[in-house]
């Protein structure tokens, strides 16, 4: 096998060990940050996997039970295996005031039987004097259906993997949480590593979301604070044939690998998941059998090496549970050779207000005559000065700019019209995406927010996205770390790229940022991985689908035109040499035409 090189994004970390360092109560930095908000009745913890969310909840729940007067805590997890994250923990050994204890009968994730019997256990728990219960989302949903929300008054409801919740009325768990919030007789702690959904549905409605106090611990803080992680590479490979064949072009059996095969209902699946796994195993070498202890497949390669492959796709409960148990076996926690490959299924700070405390502005320090770039190496916080950037006024808009930009950017870059236009429309004016489309996404997500605050949020989101893209473009192909000691390479390339870009443009302003296509870097990756003919074919399809203007788009264009008039004293014109000014004028003309048509219909 000759693995194919793939385009990749690479980030270097300082491996400081900070994210796992304990304070006097036995808390990591993320847990300490969450515990500081323990008095909030509605708390949303957004933190990466392995950052310690489960233990953070233990600290908070115990405080609510012993010091805030709540009767009981109910921990709700998406699947039974996650229930193990809430097993007993001797927290007092590390300085906390008490231990976390869950009587075995109240961890319903370990209980046999179906949800029907477990619902009776929930009733028995509610009637008992015991304090902690762990169950699945499904068991909790059925229990609320049967007993009603009032049965859970004066209790803590803690929901793990909170992105399983949706504001869509068809989402039962989301509907129940809405009822709990409306009644306002429980405390809720929500935890997630990704506060957005792949289907672009909102997790919570705007009014409900506004009730939550957020605690955010970024991926950057977590990864930078590991003791041994030095670098993270994310690669992309595009294919046009069967995935089971093309994946072999990039799979390197010399590296520890997790392979997630497509869901059987997806377009990419062959609909025979067992055969897909067998095909991958056969391609890796000569199958020797199944280890009777671990359940791992053993495969002999031509170079003499034996691969140990864990198959989590097989539905046979006995086989799957044996493999899963072997992967979690404590005795092999530090054994690098225990398994080689796992095959699974389904498994900017705003403003130009002077130097900010705790940020490094480079060798010359803060210079009030230029656009400055500052960074905090420990937290990954950036301060980038941009002329004309609107400041959010309301507390909610300030919170969104501080905590929710990642979710907004994710919704924007997953939006199908944005992707199609941004990548393949050769007539695209970037402001159609950066202003119109992103503006619409923000309006739908925050319908009660004032127009000025929505615009400030939009500007901050597009600035964060486009500055990241421009920094990467600046640093492409440059060796920035040759003379830098490993411990000082903390995101050196990104800092260099932003500072160099800001220096090059001299006058960094929001109008300039709005005219950058945010999908330009993605197109660069595509162009390396796809043939020119294939790119042109896709481009022709997308261009053929494009409509001139929709009613909603025309209204948004007209609003932008009013801003243009306030700034320049005139409306946009159709004969302007500026394509964006022409586009705004087209929006006005479209609405005028619709108005005339409506008047003619009324006169008839």
Q: Identify whether the C-beta of residue 295 lies closer than 8 Å to the C-beta of residue 327.
A: no
Tell me, what's the pLDDT at 484? 42
Confidence of residue 207 (pLDDT cuts 50, 70, 90): confident
Confidence of residue 458 (pLDDT cuts 50, 70, 90): very high
Instruction: Give the Cα-Cα-Cα angle 263, 192, 57 (nearest 5 degrees).
Output: 135
What whole-number distance in Å separates Cα of residue 153 and Cα of residue 485?
A: 57
Q: Is this prediction's pTM over 0.75?
A: no
Least confident span in 17-26, 297-306, 319-328, 435-444: 319-328
Tell me, what's the pLDDT at 489? 40
pLDDT, one tens digit per residue, over 133-154 is 999 998 999 999 999 999 999 9
* CB-CB neighbours of 30 under 10 Å: 25
- Cα distances from 301 to residues 280, 288, 337, in angstroms, run 13, 10, 15
H helix or E strand, kind and range, residue 599: helix 579-603
pLDDT, one tens digit per residue, over 405-430 is 888 888 888 888 888 788 877 777 88
Between 163 and 30, where is the model more confident? 30
Is pLDDT above 70 for 560? yes
Is pLDDT above 90 for 176? yes
Contacts of 93 by beta carbon, 8 Å cutoff, 6+ apart? 26
DSSP state of 112: -
What whole-number distance in Å separates Cα of residue 249 and Cα of residue 215?
A: 41
Mean pLDDT calculated for residue range 147-168: 92
The closest of 493, 412, 512, 394 to 453, measured between CA atoms, is 394
* CB-CB neighbours of 504 under 10 Å: 10
What whole-number distance in Å separates Cα of residue 68 and Cα of residue 65?
A: 6
Q: How many residues does the chain have?
A: 604
Confidence of residue 164 (pLDDT cuts 50, 70, 90): confident
Strands 297-300 and 286-290 come out as antiparallel
What whole-number distance in Å separates Cα of residue 118 and Cα of residue 36?
A: 34
What whole-number distance in Å separates Cα of residue 359 and Cα of residue 376?
A: 5
């Amino acid at each position: 096998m000759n693995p194919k090189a793939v385009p990749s994004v690479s980030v270097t970390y300082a491996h400081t060990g900070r994210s796992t360092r304990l304070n006097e109560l036995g808390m990591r930095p993320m847990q300490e940050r969450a515990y500081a908000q323990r008095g909030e009745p509605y708390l949303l913890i957004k933190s990466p996997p392995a950052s310690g969310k489960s233990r953070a909840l233990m600290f908070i729940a115990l405080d609510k039970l012993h010091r805030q007067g709540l009767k009981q805590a109910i921990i709700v997890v998406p699947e039974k295996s996650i229930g193990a994250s809430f097993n007993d923990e001797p927290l007092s050994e590390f300085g906390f005031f008490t231990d976390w204890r869950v009587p075995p009968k109240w961890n319903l994730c370990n209980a046999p039987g179906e949800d029907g019997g477990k619902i009776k256990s929930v009733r028995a728990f509610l009637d008992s004097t015991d304090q902690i219960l762990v169950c699945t989302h499904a068991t909790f949903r059925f229990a609320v259906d049967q007993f009603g929300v009032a049965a859970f008054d004066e209790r803590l409801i803690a929901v793990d993997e909170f992105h399983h919740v949706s504001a869509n009325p068809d989402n039962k768990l989301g509907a129940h949480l809405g009822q709990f919030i409306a009644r306002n007789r429980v405390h809720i702690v929500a935890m997630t590593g990704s506060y957005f959904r792949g289907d672009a549905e909102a997790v919570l409605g705007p009014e409900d979301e506004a009730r939550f106090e957020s605690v955010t611990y970024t991926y950057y803080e977590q990864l930078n604070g590991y003791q041994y992680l030095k670098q993270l590479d994310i690669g992309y490979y595009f294919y046009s044939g069967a995935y089971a064949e093309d994946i072999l072009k990039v799979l390197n059996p010399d590296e520890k690998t997790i392979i997630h095969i497509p869901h059987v209902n997806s377009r990419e699946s062959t609909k025979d998941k067992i055969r897909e796994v067998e095909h991958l195993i056969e391609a890796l070498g000569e199958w020797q059998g199944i280890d009777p202890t671990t359940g791992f497949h053993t495969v002999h390669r031509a170079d003499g090496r034996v691969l140990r492959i864990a198959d989590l796709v097989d539905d046979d409960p006995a086989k799957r549970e044996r493999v899963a148990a072997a992967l979690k076996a404590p005795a092999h926690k530090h054994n690098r050779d225990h398994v080689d490959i796992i095959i699974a299924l389904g498994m900017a700070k705003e403003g130009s207000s002077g130097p900010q405390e705790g940020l490094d502005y480079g060798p010359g320090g803060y210079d009030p005559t230029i656009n400055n770039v500052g960074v905090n190496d420990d937290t990954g916080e950036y301060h980038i000065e941009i002329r004309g950037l609107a400041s959010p006024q309301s507390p909610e808009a300030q919170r969104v700019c501080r905590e929710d930009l990642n979710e907004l950017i994710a919704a924007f870059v997953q939006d199908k019209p944005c992707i199609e236009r941004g990548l393949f429309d050769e007539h695209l004016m970037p402001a159609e995406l950066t202003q119109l489309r992103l503006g619409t996404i923000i309006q739908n997500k925050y319908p009660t927010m004032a127009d000025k605050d929505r615009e400030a949020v939009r500007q901050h989101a597009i600035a964060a996205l486009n500055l990241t893209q421009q920094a990467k473009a600046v640093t492409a192909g440059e060796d920035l770390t040759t003379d830098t000691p490993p411990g000082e390479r903390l995101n050196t390339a990104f800092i260099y790229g932003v500072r160099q870009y800001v220096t090059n443009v001299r006058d960094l302003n929001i109008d300039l940022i709005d005219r950058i296509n945010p999908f330009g870097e993605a197109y660069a990756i595509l162009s390396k991985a796809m043939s020119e003919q294939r790119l042109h074919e896709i481009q022709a399809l997308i261009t053929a689908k494009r409509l001139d203007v929709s009613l909603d788009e025309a209204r948004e264009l007209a609003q932008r035109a009013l801003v243009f008039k306030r700034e320049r004293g005139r409306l946009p014109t159709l004969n302007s040499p500026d394509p964006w000014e022409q586009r705004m004028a087209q929006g006005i003309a479209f609405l005028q035409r619709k108005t005339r048509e409506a008047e003619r219909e009324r006169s008839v």
